[in-house]
Amino acid sequence: METRQRLAHDDIRGIAQTPDGYLWVATPKGLARFDGDRFKLYDSSAIPVLKDQTITGVQSDTVGRLWLVTTGGTIVVGSGGKFTLLEYQRGQPVAGAHGVYADRNKQIFISSRQGEVFRAVGDQLAAWLPPQTGSQASFIGINVDLDGVVWARYGHELSWWDGVTWQALKGPDGHSDLPALKTGASQDGGMWISTSHELRRFRQGHWQGAARRYPQSVTSLQAILEDSQRNVWLTTARED
């Protein structure tokens, strides 16, 4: 274990904040805890269950447990520097984990590599939503808005779970499919949806407000984040 003022690596794979106020940052070098002044690194020697795997996502639940997803599709759960591997009998997806997410109530959701959605019950996972069917595109991942609504993306096709089934996202005209690039949760509920030329919020089955058009079109986005002041930030992928 090592303590330093800066991160050991500048490639950030995920950030989560636990109820005690600490920020946890996942990088290819391991997991780092930030106390407002210094970073404490938890590498493979501090978290032996990681072995040679890299963390690809991290979230915190209501009691401060960290849920980590690795490149190998495994899930690691822990707090206070003690981490354990989630075994299959506790809900580890047979197909391997794809990503980890949380809503405003810190409910933990895990997607599998086959598009299944699981949610945490205590320190275990329970199967919840089936994969979306009918799409010819490959599964890209899910996202969860702050209301707890789950979104699934296959290629550029988006669907949202209405409580009964997956609903394909249609454009504002109600007919055309929408070629989505990225989604990001809104502080007021719902999800920001980006295409190559504009951004608009969708909530509870309806488009909200006017579209925000970009000065110029984009081909890909890395992230969409709405801050506490309701400013929406977008980062584009680097184009060589």
Domain positions in the chain are 132-240
User: What was the pLDDT predicted at 156?
Assistant: 86
Query: 3.20.20.80, 2.130.10.10, 3.60.130.10, 3.30.300.10: which CATH number matches 132-240?
Result: 2.130.10.10
Select the more confidently predicted residue: 26 or 92: 92
- Of all residues in the chain, what percent carry a pLDDT higher than 70? 94
User: What was the pLDDT predicted at 126?
Assistant: 97
What would the pLDDT profile of 91-148 be if each residue is shown by its tens digit? 999 999 999 999 999 999 999 999 999 999 998 999 999 999 888 889 999 999 999 9
Select the more confidently predicted residue: 97 or 82: 97
Across the chain, mean pLDDT equals 88
pLDDT at 11 over 80: no
User: What was the pLDDT predicted at 5?
Assistant: 58
pLDDT at 178 over 90: no
Q: Could you give the 3-state DSSP secondary structure of residue 139? A: strand
The model's pTM: 0.85
User: What was the pLDDT predicted at 127?
Assistant: 96
User: What was the pLDDT predicted at 235?
Assistant: 80
User: What was the pLDDT predicted at 2?
Assistant: 54
Select the more confidently predicted residue: 239 or 212: 212
pLDDT at 64 over 70: yes
Helices assigned H by DSSP within the chain: none
- Of all residues in the chain, what percent carry a pLDDT higher than 90? 54
Select the more confidently predicted residue: 11 or 88: 88
Q: Which residue matches tokens 């109530």? A: 105
Question: What mean pLDDT is predicted for residues 171-180?
Answer: 82
Q: Could you give the 3-state DSSP secondary structure of residue 37? A: coil
Rounded CA-CA distance 14/57 in Å is 5
User: What was the pLDDT predicted at 237?
Assistant: 62
29 burial level (CB within 10 Å; 0-12, 13-18, 19+): middle
User: What was the pLDDT predicted at 12?
Assistant: 78
Dihedral sign, Cα of residue 117, residue 178, residue 236, residue 219 = positive
Is residue 71 a contact partner of residue 27, using CB atoms and an 8 Å limit?
no
